């Protein structure tokens, strides 16, 4: 498994290269904002940073890490960078070329994902062939050592099953997809468990409507924590690598406390939050492909 956990305090943390908690950086495109956020969370033990070619911030994150890590007594190998191949870069040649450009920002990339199983203007395009070519490019770069791990994002069970027919390096190490109490991804997570694929959840806070759900509010009041901390603890306690995003330093600190404060939700809390599931997606839906 990519993630091996041991109990430290009341929450599990990774003892290997993929921590169970990290931060997302979508729409964080300002150098000062990125520096403020990363500078705030490094002392809290956050070591996973999720980016993508689509986010247009890989170079800035690489720059911030290069300057900030020494200030916290850390080296590049102490943190994990996850990035993703832009959907427009599907296919062997484009995927390989773009992934190498991403690598230049960090020296190497710990986990490179295929961002989306489709691509823009794909009418008449054999997407199975394109996905297979993209995966082959990542496999080669992993063999070369510039990608330490490879995986996929937003793949359905059908896409994962297809990938298993052409992979030469086994299952993807990671599947990243939307995950929160309204979107449990039961079938996808079952596939991941069966094939030893670590599930990573983005948009763990959903949208603001989740914060005011009576179930979330009651659990927050019970434990004297915030609704966002309730939502993050729910995902973490399910063993999902959780990557909330915010441009606010204060909100990032609040979010990280859900992982470091040592408080656990009780089983009855988890079951109450589970009742919110209605397979609702706030983001894109790969089932429509």
Best CA proximity match to 255, nearest among 31, 44, 29, 10: 44
Helices assigned H by DSSP within the chain: 31-41, 58-71, 92-104, 127-144, 157-166, 186-194, 208-211, 214-223, 227-236, 249-260, 267-274
Positions marked catalytic: 55
What Å distances lie between residue 10 and 6, 19, 175, 230, CA to CA? 10, 16, 26, 15
Cβ density class 152-186: b for 16+ within 10 Å, e for less: bbbbbeebbebbeeebeeebbbbbbbbbbbbbbbe
């Amino acid at each position: 498994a990519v993630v091996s956990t041991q109990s430290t305090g009341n929450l599990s943390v990774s003892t290997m290269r993929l921590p169970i908690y990290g931060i997302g950086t979508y729409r964080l495109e300002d150098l000062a904002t990125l520096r403020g956020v990363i500078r705030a969370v490094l002392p809290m033990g956050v070591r996973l940073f999720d980016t993508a070619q689509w986010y247009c911030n890989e170079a800035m994150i690489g720059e911030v890490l290069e300057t900030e890590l020494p200030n916290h007594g850390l080296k590049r190998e102490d943190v994990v960078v996850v990035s993703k191949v832009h959907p427009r870069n599907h296919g062997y040649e484009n995927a390989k070329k773009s992934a190498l450009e991403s690598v230049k920002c960090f020296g190497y990339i710990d986990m490179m994902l295929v961002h989306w199983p489709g691509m823009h203007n794909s009418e008449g395009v054999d997407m199975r062939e394109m996905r297979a070519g993209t995966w082959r490019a990542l496999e080669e770069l992993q063999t070369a050592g510039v990608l330490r791990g490879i995986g996929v994002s937003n793949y359905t069970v059908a896409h994962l099953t297809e990938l298993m027919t052409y992979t030469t390096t086994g299952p993807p190490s990671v599947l990243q997809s939307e995950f929160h109490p309204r979107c449990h991804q039961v079938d996808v997570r079952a596939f991941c468990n069966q094939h030893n694929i670590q599930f990573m959840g983005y948009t763990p806070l959903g949208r603001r409507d989740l914060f005011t759900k009576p179930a979330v509010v009651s659990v927050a009041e019970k434990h004297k924590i915030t609704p966002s901390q309730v939502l993050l603890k729910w995902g973490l306690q399910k063993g999902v690598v959780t990557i909330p995003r915010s441009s606010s330093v204060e909100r990032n600190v609040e979010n990280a406390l859900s992982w470091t404060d040592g408080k656990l939700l009780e089983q009855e809390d988890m079951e109450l939050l589970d009742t919110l599931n209605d397979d609702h997606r706030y983001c894109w839906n790969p089932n429509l492909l």
